[in-house]
Amino acid sequence: MKPVSKLQLPPSPLSGCVFAAICRDTRGAALSDEDRVSYFPASPLVTLTLVRTGKLYMLPPGRDWHDVSDLSPLPRLSATPPTDVPISSWAPDDIEAISFGIYPDAWVQLGGDTGFSHIPPGLKAAVDAFDAHDDVDAGWSAFSTSLEKIWAAERWSWPAVTSISDWVRGLMVRTLTTGRGKSLRSLERRLKRFSGQSKRALDFHASFDNLHRVFYQHPKSPLAEIAVEAGYSDQSHMGRAVRRATGFSPAHLNRRIDTDEAFWCYRVLGERF
């Protein structure tokens, strides 16, 4: 039996609030210890992780799965703040886990903090609605219905977005048109208040998301052409960005996405394109 990895995309009214959810179910799958590692790229999102079956350990940078004796498994529901470095996790046995990617400005608007430690009540209620269903599709529908009611009731009219790049552009516009101060320092402060991140960090994530799109739309193109199409100055510039976001060179990353179970997240996220 093979593990199940699934991408769930939000309905349009929630697309400015929720990026997506990714579901991972390894119950009954024959996997090696190395295959039970999951690699994730750097991300500007707040990630809510619901562990329904098994134990899941977040691996600190530079650590692998061989020794987790000094680590505690994640609680059943936990929040991971935006990160500008890649992260990884390991499940020693079968696991069923769902990760919800939430845009940080929506997190704050829903009542969360910019430290991303306090889960907003509305999001918690939506996750509980998901958790009430064994079936992932039914759970996602319940999550979306629950959160959409809250989002609509408060009349938050975030524009619909289809990518992190779109979200960053919209966030920049909102930052420019909100508040009195127009100095660079004022804009940076508002951007930090909205998202917990700097303009430089958000630009990096937007560029990497665009690269992901270009690569999946033109997988056979030479890397130099992909770099130019994605907006990088050259292949070396792209290579540095990929290594920063994933920990691997573009060629190494592509090989592992094609062949390694542990890179399931990259394959699933590619389904958006």
What DSSP line would sit under 132-191, residue for residue? T-SSHHHHHHHHHHHHHHHHHHTT--PPP-SSHHHHHHHHHHHHHHSSS--SHHHHHHHH
The answer to whether residues 57 and 49 touch, using CB atoms and an 8 Å cutoff, is no
How far, in Å, CA of 40 to CA of 245, rounded?
Answer: 9
What is the tally of helices (H) and strands (E) in the chain? Answer: 10, 8
Evaluate if residue 156 carries a pLDDT over 60: no
How far, in Å, CA of 65 to CA of 225, rounded?
Answer: 36
First to last CA, the chain: 27
CA distances from 120 to 104, 130, 149, 151, 196 (A): 12, 16, 15, 12, 16
Q: How many CA atoms lie within 13 A of 218 on its CB side?
A: 13
pLDDT for position 94 = 97
Evaluate if residue 188 carries a pLDDT over 90: no
Which one, of 198, 123, 193, lies nearest residue 168 by Cα? 198
Evaluate if residue 211 carries a pLDDT over 80: yes
How far, in Å, CA of 89 to CA of 262, rounded?
Answer: 10
Name the least confident of 27-41, 125-139, 174-188.
174-188
Q: What is the mean pLDDT of residues 185-201?
A: 84
pLDDT for position 88 = 96
pLDDT for position 272 = 85
Evaluate if residue 269 carries a pLDDT over 80: yes
Q: What is the mean pLDDT of residues 214-238?
A: 89
Evaluate if residue 127 carries a pLDDT over 90: yes
Q: What is the mean pLDDT of residues 101-114?
A: 90
pLDDT for position 271 = 87
Name the least confident of 54-68, 151-165, 194-208.
151-165
Confidence at 154, pLDDT banded by 50, 70, 90:
low
pLDDT for position 178 = 73
pLDDT tens string 1-37: 889 999 999 999 899 999 999 999 999 999 999 999 9
| Residues sharing a CB contact under 8 Å with residue 183, sequence separation 6 or more, in sequence order | none
Q: Which residue has the higher pLDDT, 85 or 175?
A: 85
Confidence at 179, pLDDT banded by 50, 70, 90:
low
